Structure 1
Amino acid sequence: MQRIHIIGGGVAGFTAAITAAESGALVTVHEAHHTLGGRARTAEGPYLTNEGPHALYRHGPHWAWLAQRDLLGAMATVPLRQAARLRFRLGGALRRTPPLTLLRLTRRRTEHAPVDTDFHTWATAQVGEEGARTAAHFAAVALFHHDPGSLSAAFVQERLRRAAALPPEARYPVGGWAQVVDRMAARAWNLSVRIETVSRIDPSALDDLARSGPVIVATSLDAARGLLCDPTLTWDSGRTALIDLALRTRRGDAFAVSDLDAPGWIERFTAQDHTLAPAGRQLLQGQFPVAPGESKAAGIARAEDVLDLGFPGWRDRVEWRREALATGRTGAVDRPGTTWRDRPAIDRGNGIYLAGDQVAAPGLLSEVSFNSGMEAAVLALGASEQPRSTRRTLDLERG
């Protein structure tokens, strides 16, 4: 068995490493940073934040894969009393219930939404223009995109249904996503995977690795494009203003506020996981997509408007604050006429494979990383064991 090298110590990289090592492969993970996790890192300190709002949705092969290996750990759910405190901004006012047209649209099955038509056009024919607009903005919680209505109707509808599912699909790793990554790294270590941190690979080093066996590039698409010197490795993603806040606790705050006037979402993550902040403090994380050319400040201004409605007096209660702009770091979005199959292929030829959240694999947000990591490992194993002419690509849709 040749050694399989994996570049990137995040969710996709460790999914690939574990999958390959369980089949007996010799595996090395190369991580450029001192710490593992990629975008699933959890910040150290009194406030355990991730890079923007994070949730793990229950359905799909990734959930079963993690559960079978006892890698999920403790998962928090939103208590019913907190779920009842989900609020909506519409027409500049705070509402307790979403518009009926939005609820009607969530009942439409995904397969009824066309791939080659934009969501706004299709949804307008179903529930009218206002309903289509509010549904698109609500779906942004799982898109991080400034104009969800312009994307493929089938793509947005799937995410709308899953985001609005009852009971909620979303689960939250207790203690932050780093807990999941730590369990994955420990599993890989126990399978004799070699883990090298501060191991930055450049194109010349990549060539050297490829001579010893298959290589899985499990990085962001931007990093993979530079590493593989391949300008075709591009796909649309979101551009989002991120805000993190620690507030002194106050009774009556909303659990989360969905902005239906424009795409945006802010959530009190300590409502379901009290370990994320010290006693007497609550941690909020929000994402407010911004258009190309629009400033981070514009997104933060919208976030503050939502905070004024859902968290009265928040400015006087701030204990800590952080802002950021995430560009191309929030997963793939599919334009009309495209699906996940049209994204950059996992098999790049010559024993090089791609994994991450913007490549040709199905799923919602981080699920693409899990699914592409599994597929890349299967392909790399086949390349190690068989002549290249006999490789067989598995169909991920079979689960």
Structure 2
Amino acid sequence: MTAPRNRNNLTIIGGGFAGLTAAIVAAEAGAQVTVHESHDALGGRARTAEGTYRTNEGPHALYNGGPHWAWLKQRDLIGPLAQLPPIEGTRLRLHHQGRLRRTPPLAMLKLLRRKPEQAPVDEDFMTWATREAGEEGARAAAHYMAVATFHHDPGSLSARFLQERLRRATKLPPEAHYPRGGWATIIDRMASFAWNLGVRVETLSRIDDVGALSTATEGPVIIATSLPAARQLLKDDSLHWDSARTTLIDLALTSRRGDLFVVSDLDRTGWIERFTTQDHTLAPAGQELIQAQIPLSPDESKTDGAARADHLLDLGFPGWRERLMWRRDAVSNGRTGALDLPGTTWRDRPAIDRGDGVYLAGDQVAAPGLLSEVSFNSALKAVTLALTSTRLDLKSA
């Protein structure tokens, strides 16, 4: 008979949004929780850079249509939100047919009336949407969804997967909200909340052997890291799922009246957003913080992505080079969340329960939701499975 798990001990590897969610849920259920974070600060991809410019790892927004919004709000973890500009004053522009436009193609609007349930799982979005609205509308809608997929060819993804995200990303009033001061403000509140619940947090604590850790603690382990990191940690080559590769660009410009809020590329894929439109705390007075993500195809380089971003900046922010105060370019590879290909849904992704008291949480595992909601939902499921299984073990011992 295997030794029973100690239901009072739960170890979490990874102190990002998923890890902190799991820690709070488990501690509220009475477990003794330890979080191991390999970096010197919590947050993972939800970290906000300290310093002159408070940047996130790519454009970040908190959507209020998912269960994590209510959960965070109930615990007063969201904090102040940046005030979104009025819809008519947002100055959102769409790059379509070589120039900036105020409105999308009419055929694209036709797709917004289609419920996600009407889109098939086993067909790619471009094929289905072309039948529904014509090629121009389908292509524009697919490229617009680079904002929620970071993928260079969103039209190749499952029609159901992309249509669900299209409906939510274009909803009015908008679901997207912005924590004032960046996502780190939410992470800081979550960390303080966890600490008050008795959660032990160890930073600069890298775990290399999950088996030894599980034996030592006699309790279940939740791995709340990126999927590539979990694959390496568990030495499990089956832990694969499609994600995206994108150029991330942060830049600061001197302020100028009339700058746009958002430029979305409908001719290819790409998104540029002026985050200081709604939150002036992210950059010094008199400066604007702009963040861009330009999805890269397998044969494109960071330089290619930067060149495409520069072209959109030329269109949307005339004279930006003369106003440039700071710039940083990077590439994010496989760290942009799960992407479901035709014939797959979230249920086909790597399972949360890995056996032997080990569970996964993160944005590429078998849980529903949009972007960070996958991390949240998988964290809740992982804790439920971990605490339930340990209690069953104790009863059968």
| TM-score bracket for this pair, using the shorter chain length | over 0.9
Q: How does 1:114-263 map to 2 (within 5 A)?
A: 114-203=120-209, 206-211=210-215, 212-263=218-269
Number of equivalenced pairs = 388
Say whether residues 1:378 and 2:379 are aligned partners. no
Say whether residues 1:312 and 2:318 are aligned partners. yes
Offset of 1:2 from its aligned partner? 3.1
Q: What is the one-letter code of the residue matched to 1:209?
A: L
Indicate the SS of the match to 1:331. Answer: coil
Q: Tell me, which stretches of 5 or more residues in structure 1 are unaligned?
A: 391-399
Partner of 1:107: 113
Indicate the SS of the match to 2:244. Answer: strand
With 176-185 and 71-80 compared, the bigger mean Cα shift is at 71-80
Q: What is the one-letter code of the residue matched to 1:256?
A: V
Offset of 1:82 from its aligned partner? 6.9
Contact between 2:8 and 2:30, CA under 8 Å: does it hold in 1?
Answer: no
Q: How does 1:278-317 map to 2 (within 5 A)?
A: 278-317=284-323
Question: Could you tell me how far apart the structure 2 residues matched to 1:50 and 1:83 are?
Answer: 24
Indicate the SS of the match to 1:173. Answer: coil
Q: Over aligned residue pairs, what C-alpha RMSD do you find? A: 1.2
Offset of 1:46 from its aligned partner? 1.0
Q: What is the one-letter code of the residue matched to 2:361?
A: A
Contact between 1:83 and 1:255, CA under 8 Å: does it hold in 2?
Answer: no
Question: Could you tell me how far apart the structure 1 residues matched to 2:298 and 2:59 are?
Answer: 21
Q: Tell me, which stretches of 5 or more residues in structure 2 are unaligned?
A: 1-6
Q: TM-score, normalised by structure 2?
A: 0.96
Q: What is the one-letter code of the residue matched to 1:70?
A: D
With 46-55 and 101-110 compared, the bigger mean Cα shift is at 101-110
1:20-42 CA-to-partner distances (Å, cap 9, x unmatched) read 00000000000001111001110
Question: Could you tell me how far apart the structure 2 residues matched to 1:81 and 1:12 are?
Answer: 32
Say whether residues 1:360 and 2:366 are aligned partners. yes
Offset of 1:154 from its aligned partner? 0.4
1:354-399 CA-to-partner distances (Å, cap 9, x unmatched) read 0001000011111111111111111111122112999xxxxxxxxx
- Residue 82 to residue 238, structure 1, CA distance change in 2 (3 Å): farther
The correspondence for 2:60, drawn from 34, 54, 59, is 54
1:322-342 CA-to-partner distances (Å, cap 9, x unmatched) read 000000010000000000000
Question: Could you tell me how far apart the structure 2 residues matched to 1:321 and 1:6 are?
Answer: 35
- Residue 349 to residue 218, structure 1, CA distance change in 2 (3 Å): same
Q: TM-score, normalised by structure 1?
A: 0.95
- Residue 280 to residue 30, structure 1, CA distance change in 2 (3 Å): same
**Aligned residues: percent identity?**
68
Q: What is the one-letter code of the residue matched to 2:162?
A: V
Offset of 1:81 from its aligned partner? 5.9
- Residue 341 to residue 9, structure 1, CA distance change in 2 (3 Å): same
- Residue 84 to residue 35, structure 1, CA distance change in 2 (3 Å): closer
- Residue 181 to residue 247, structure 1, CA distance change in 2 (3 Å): same
Indicate the SS of the match to 1:76. Answer: coil
Partner of 1:393: none
Question: Could you tell me how far apart the structure 2 residues matched to 1:349 and 1:75 are?
Answer: 40
Indicate the SS of the match to 2:336. Answer: strand
Contact between 1:77 and 1:170, CA under 8 Å: does it hold in 2?
Answer: no
Partner of 2:351: 345
Contact between 2:314 and 2:320, CA under 8 Å: does it hold in 1?
Answer: yes
